[in-house]
Amino acid sequence: MSATNRVHHATILSIVAILISSFSLYESHMQRISATTDELSIIASRPMLDERICVDPRQFHSPINIVSVPFQIVISNIGASTVSIVDYNIRTSTIENKEIYYSELNGGFIAADSNERLILPITIEPGKSFKARLIVGVNFGDKAASILKQQFEEKHVVPVSILSNILAQNSIDFFDNEVVPIRSGDRVVGWQMKSFEKEQLFYITLKTARNNEFHGIISWYNKLTASAS
């Protein structure tokens, strides 16, 4: 091998060694970042039809008619490090993006399989999920509240399906959207939506111990989507 070829060969080997070293440093750096970065996935959905919710006519004061609703929440740690949720908040608006304020909005987290209240922080290990119910004060429409107030003079805990059928008899849903009742004889057994013009949106923000925030939108007719900032 000539001297020139030996120089070229040595140069190539040096370049390869530098590239391998750089890649190893980059990979190590990314692993360190991954180990110290929060990554959460959030899924939420409205209560099932057999879920029981509390209707208290004393909470109906037009235009604010509050019914406490337990939304199902699943928070998954999809990152490489343990995440601690240290704070959260909820705000709400109409589907037309008009913000609404009332004190009963945030009812807190309770356990998925009991009525035990959960206290922050909530710690989730990598690859694990946290399931709970988030109690949210939903603002029912004035017509819906008036009908339910006539039906229940005092505080009642009632399945979602029964409340929905009571309102469907009057051709509306919780938000005063128009529905078509489905009947079996004289009894309403279901309904079909004619309009989704009225709905309430809820914006949830989770804050972690590393000061990262994850945002999501909860609605009655759609599942929650989430993002981080």
Q: How confident is the model at residue 217 (pLDDT cuts 50, 70, 90)?
A: confident
Residue type, 122: I
Spatial separation of the C-alpha atoms in residues 100 and 179, rounded to whole Å: 25
Verify cis geometry, omega within 30 degrees of 0, for the bond prior to 70: no
Mean pLDDT of 78-93: 93
| Among candidate residues 55, 27, 46, the one with its CA nearest the CA of residue 201 | 46
Segment 111-115 mean pLDDT:
86
Backbone angles phi, psi at 121, to 5 degrees: -80, 155
Q: Is the pLDDT of residue 25 over 50?
A: no
> pLDDT digits over 172-208, tens only?
999 999 999 988 888 888 888 888 888 888 999 999 9
Residue percentage of the chain with pLDDT more than 70: 80
Mean pLDDT lowest among 59-68, 125-134, 139-148, 192-201: 192-201
The C-alpha atoms of residue 190 and residue 168 are separated, in whole angstroms, by 7
**DSSP code for 120:** S
CA distance 173 to 147: 11
Mean pLDDT of all residues in 115-137 = 93
Q: Residue 10 — pLDDT band, cuts 50, 70, 90?
A: low
- pLDDT above 90 covers a percentage of the chain that reads 52
Q: Give the contacts of 92 (CB within 8 A, at least 6 positions apart).
A: 99, 100, 105, 139, 200, 201, 202, 203
Mean pLDDT of 138-151: 94
The confidence score (pLDDT) of residue 18 equals 60
**What pLDDT score was predicted for residue 78?**
92
Q: For the residues 135-164, what does the mean pLDDT come to?
A: 93
pLDDT of res. 125: 95
* H or E element at residue 170: none
Size of the chain in residues: 229
For residues 80 and 76, what is the distance between their CA atoms, to the nearest angstrom?
Answer: 12
**DSSP string covering 48-77, please?**
PTT-EEEE-GGGEETTEEEEEEEEEEEEEE
CA-closest candidate to residue 218, choices 88, 92, 49: 92
Which is more confident, 184 or 96? 184
Residue 178, pLDDT score: 93
Specify the pLDDT at position 15.
61
CA 152 to chain centre: 30
Does residue 34 carry a pLDDT above 50? no
Q: Residue 163: its pLDDT value, please?
A: 93
Min mean pLDDT across 4-8, 80-84, 201-205 is at 4-8
56 backbone dihedrals φ, ψ, rounded to 5°:
-125, 105
The Cα 187–Cα 194 span in angstroms is 20
Q: What is the mean pLDDT of residues 7-18?
A: 57
* CA–CA distance, 197 with 24 (Å, rounded to integer): 55
